[in-house]
Amino acid sequence: MRALFLIVLYAGLCYASSDSDQENIQIIMDNVLVLRVPNDLGSRVYVPLSCGEAYQNQPVVWKKNGEEIEPALQGNQVKVLVEEMNGGNYTCHLSPDGEYLNHTVILIQLEPDNRTVILEEFPEEGAGHIHCSAPNYNGSFHCTWRRSTSRSNAAVLLVKAERNSEKIPCELDADGSGIHCKDASCPYREEQHRVSLTIYIHSDSRLEAYTKTFYLRDIVRPAKIINLRISDGKEFSWNYPENWEKPCTYFSLQFEVKVVKKGFPCHSTNEIMNNTTDKMTYTVNIKSNKYVFCVRAQDKYTNGPFSHWSHCTVDKHTVCT
Ligand SMILES: *[C@@H]1O[C@H](CO)[C@@H](O)[C@H](O)[C@H]1NC(C)=O
Ligand SMILES: *[C@@H]1O[C@H](CO)[C@@H](O)[C@H](O)[C@H]1NC(C)=O
Ligand SMILES: *[C@@H]1O[C@H](CO)[C@@H](O)[C@H](O)[C@H]1NC(C)=O
Ligand SMILES: *[C@@H]1O[C@H](CO)[C@@H](O)[C@H](O)[C@H]1NC(C)=O
Ligand SMILES: *[C@@H]1O[C@H](CO)[C@@H](O)[C@H](O)[C@H]1NC(C)=O
Ligand SMILES: *[C@@H]1O[C@H](CO)[C@@H](O)[C@H](O)[C@H]1NC(C)=O
């Protein structure tokens, strides 16, 4: 009996002291430790935990997710066995009264991290899991993602954004499914380096990292054009979006104009006429007096994403929106 106990203990110690375990453990931020395990089932890893130097000479007892561990886990420095995705929040307490002292959260990341389940891909071809957009070149941009319905409780742990090793500050949206970032170093210079963005998000103990890299010029989508109006029954005019760059001569937009049959949406292929123009005015030359006039904007030099459509429904009473 005693011999068996020793063998088991010895095996445990060997396992715990194997170097490879340490290499797969990373402290990603204060009180949060990430364990990388291979992309297969049945992993068992001993993870060393410390209650902290401040409590070196105190009697310490540990709990996992607020519950006592059986058999009791005692001591400032301990090792806990993590099986598969079974991480958790390990808190240390002063015994015997149980006062909370400190905690370490253990999260598990599969390696390679390529079988992701927390975020859904956007449906458009090659769109990936993160969608970013900016209304102009001043360095502010916004990114969004969508949690899959079965992981709607997933929480963002950390966001890292940088360009050429320079950090870009970001703020998480209140609903946790987007960020606003402000690249202060960028405006009005030719972009040589991409923005690199990594979102660390966890659902229970499962941690996934999602990365996107892009040039600002590829994500600038002008806002809708404004003041769309009609005069003389067929001359339409409009203005640049309010938040577009000034002076406009350096940051020119071009416009796609289109006429579709009344009752059809602007993206309809059921078109009567289409054209592009640099001007902020267009004269429609068609016989019908019931139609929809549509216009949208695009950066003239980068041919980047189009704005959303604005339109006028032409009829006895013409209405522009
Ligand atoms: C609490 O634990 C963390 C590790 O999770 C450690 O970095 C920190 O120093 C500890 N705090 C104290 C007061 O010892
Ligand atoms: C872990 O437990 C501590 C102490 O109860 C708490 O302050 C902390 O927010 C918990 N962290 C997580 C991720 O549950
Ligand atoms: C994940 O990566 C591994 C190793 O690179 C590869 O064998 C596996 O097919 C990948 N799985 C998916 C779902 O892409
Ligand atoms: C950049 O443009 C955005 C969108 O119009 C605006 O909200 C923000 O205040 C601008 N920032 C600066 C520094 O001009
Ligand atoms: C616009 O019309 C031209 C023909 O005049 C056609 O080749 C082109 O595909 C049309 N553009 C769109 C976006 O439908
Ligand atoms: C396109 O617009 C230009 C003026 O902006 C005009 O000269 C040309 O005739 C138009 N083309 C068509 C097919 O309507």
Residues 6+ apart with CB under 8 A from 125: none
pLDDT digits (tens, 9 = 90+) for 158-203: 999 999 899 999 999 999 999 999 998 765 667 889 999 999 999 9
Residue 88 pLDDT: 96
Closest atom, ligand 4, to C-alpha of 140: 1
Q: Which of 37, 114, 116, 208 to mutate to test the pocket of ligand 3 (most atoms within 8 A of CB)?
A: 114
Residues 287 and 240 in one domain: yes
Structural domain of residue 97, as residue ranges? 2-111
Question: Which tens digit of pLDDT belongs to each residue from 122-158?
Answer: 998 788 999 999 999 888 999 999 999 999 999 999 9
Number of Cβ within 10 Å of residue 185's Cβ equals 11
Q: Which atom of ligand 2 is nearest to the CA of 89?
A: 1
The total number of structural domains that make up the chain? 3
Residue 10 has pLDDT above 50, yes or no: no
Query: What pTM was computed for the model?
Result: 0.81
Residue 296 tokens, joined: 């949208």
**Distance from Cα 203 to the centre of ligand 4, integer Å:** 33
- DSSP, res 284: -
Residues 100 and 16 in one domain: yes
Is residue 145 located within the same domain as residue 66? no
pLDDT of res. 192: 86
Query: Do 207 and 123 reside in the same domain of the chain?
Result: yes
Domain boundary among 60, 82, 111: 111
What element of type H or E holds 311?
strand 310-314
Percent pLDDT > 70 in the chain is 90
Residue of 236, 234, 235 whose CA lies nearest to 287: 234
Final residue belonging to a domain, choices 111, 134, 153: 111
- The residue contributing the CA closest to ligand 6 atom 11 is 275
Q: What angle do CA 304, 196, 148 make, to 5 degrees?
A: 85
Chain segment 264-284, per-residue pLDDT in tens: 999 998 899 999 999 999 999
Which CATH number fits the domain that encloses residue 40? 2.60.40.10
Better-predicted residue by pLDDT, 189 or 259: 259
CB 210 within 8 A of CB 218: no
> Closest residue (by CA) to atom 8 of ligand 1?
52
Residue 321: band (very low, low, confident or very high) from pLDDT cuts 50, 70, 90: confident
Query: Of 95, 111, 127, which one is at a domain's C-terminal end?
Result: 111
β-pair partners for 102: 92
Say which DSSP state 13 is in: H
- Report which of 306, 284, 281 is spatially closest to residue 296, judged by C-alpha positions: 306
Q: What is the pLDDT of residue 9?
A: 38
CA distances, 280 to each of 174, 240, 296 (Å): 38, 8, 11
Q: Residue 299: its pLDDT value, please? A: 92
Residue closest to 82 by CA, chosen among 33, 9, 153, 155 = 33
Q: Which residue owns the Cα nearest ligand 1 atom 9?
A: 52
Question: What pLDDT does residue 248 have?
Answer: 61
| Lowest mean pLDDT across 127-136, 203-212, 240-249 | 240-249
